[in-house]
Amino acid sequence: MAEMRLILYLGKGGVGKTTTAAATAVRAAELGYRTLVVSTDVAHSLADALDTPLGPLPTKLSERLWGQEINVLDEVRQHWGQLRDYFATLLRRKGMSEVAAEELAIIPGMEEIVSLLHIRRQAREDNFDVVIVDAAPTGETVRLLTMPETFQWYASRVMDWEPTTMKAVRPLVKAMIPAVNVIDTLKKLTEGVEELRETLTDPEISSYRLVVNPERMVLKEAQRASTYLALFGYPIDGVVLNRVLPADAAEGAFMQELTKIQQGYLQQIYDTFAPLPIWQSPHYARDIRGVSDLSMVGNALFKNIDPVKVQFRGKTQEISLQGEEYVLRMPLPHVELGKVSLVKRGDELFVEIGNFRRDLILPTTLAERPARKAQFRDGVLEVRFGPPETETKAD
């Protein structure tokens, strides 16, 4: 491969991200890729799925497969230790208690940032063809991915310095704390975060895949993750529909009802995430553990598809500002032309076009605005949102 690939699996806790990530990694290794599968979740379960002890450094599992569970605390100390001590000193001088100063000296999201910096470094330095990430539950992962956007701004404000003034204050800081080159450390870290952001949004390098089960709450969280990934420019290239009960395997009233509920959500999931490819995996009747089991899952999930390659190119949705209006554009290539009907409730937008119905989760920017107009043409739904409505109070 000419370029390293980074594939991140996201989803609500308990949907099967770890097994899916590990199965993808085993399949990639079978196809000849030098593959690293790594967990960023504090509650690691990757070693259990692989049935092999893993440490903070890559552990070789087969000729082309490595596994790793990142020690986040060690990574924070390595990347942030000197700066944390410096920030804590500043906060204590402003009258803050020792414990509070130590806690607030860590920039929010630092644990997530150093995890991704570590993954990027492993991919670059060890020359893996593909790094597959078993990410933390969706909410934490979305926060993880949005942090590179704001890190440099936050860091410069905490220090009360703009990047243009860094050069001028360096001698002063070095005189105050000779052993710690705070400015150079911060500069190096922010440069790494900027490069990380470029990597994470490059659709030829990074792909984000949602893991869902046919359940209402899981679907809602996956919709929300999809919205925010699109909003920040992170390329989604597929969805894994996991733990699907076979339609003919239901015996007894309980299983029949459960299968019926699942079947009701299946088409909704396919409609919701079109035009993304969806790979379906059954609910296995036993625990999946070890490389042999994961190979079976990976082969059944992807069949003749090479899971390392980019599976979808394009935007699932796009938001732009036109004058005072925000415009949401969403490609719906398989929907037939018809009258568009909109109903907005809080951060949800219900869209109907003929027999097609879709429930959209809106980012806060759009949730607080009225949906003024919608049209569907050339396979694209376009919704216009006006300025926020001001509440009027009765005298």
Mean pLDDT for back-to-back runs of 10 residues, the chain (395 residues) = 82 90 97 93 83 91 92 67 68 74 62 74 79 77 60 54 45 42 64 77 92 92 84 89 81 80 86 89 90 95 96 88 90 75 87 80 87 86 86 47
Cα–Cα dist 244/96, whole Å: 53
Exposure string over 51-86, b if 16+ CB within 10 A, otherwise e: beebeeebbebeebbbbbbbbbeebbeebbebbbeb
End-to-end CA, the chain:
69
For tokens 């220090």, name the residue.
Answer: 159
Instruction: Extract the tokens encoding 3.
Output: 């370029």
Whether residue 395 contacts residue 349, with contact meaning beta carbons closer than 8 Å, is answered with no
Q: How far does CA 224 lie from the centroid of its chain?
A: 11
Q: Report how far apart, in Å, the C-alpha atoms of 55 and of each of 73, 74, 261 are.
A: 13, 12, 40
All structural domains of the chain, each given as residue ranges with its CATH number in brackets, are 5-73+108-302 (3.40.50.300), 318-385 (2.60.40.790)
Strands of the sheet containing 356-361, edge to edge, are 340-345, 348-353, 356-361
Cα–Cα dist 58/52, whole Å: 12
Predicted confidence at residue 57, as pLDDT, reads 86
Closest CA to 131 of 278, 261, 5, 320: 5
Helix crossing, 182-200 with 166-176: angle to 10°?
Answer: 130
Whether residue 209 contacts residue 240, with contact meaning beta carbons closer than 8 Å, is answered with yes
Total Cβ atoms within 10 A of residue 191: 11
Cα–Cα dist 41/139, whole Å: 12
| Rg of the chain taking only CA atoms, in angstroms | 24
pTM of the entire predicted model:
0.79
Number of H helices, E strands in the chain: 12, 15
Predicted confidence at residue 118, as pLDDT, reads 79
Cα–Cα dist 214/217, whole Å: 9
**Who's near 50: CB < 8 A, 6+ residues apart?**
22, 37, 61, 67, 290, 291, 294
Helix crossing, 17-30 with 290-302: angle to 10°?
Answer: 90
Cα–Cα dist 286/270, whole Å: 27
Cα–Cα dist 345/365, whole Å: 14
Task: For Cα atoms 340, 342, 347, give the angle at the middle one, nearest 5 degrees.
Answer: 145
Predicted confidence at residue 361, as pLDDT, reads 84
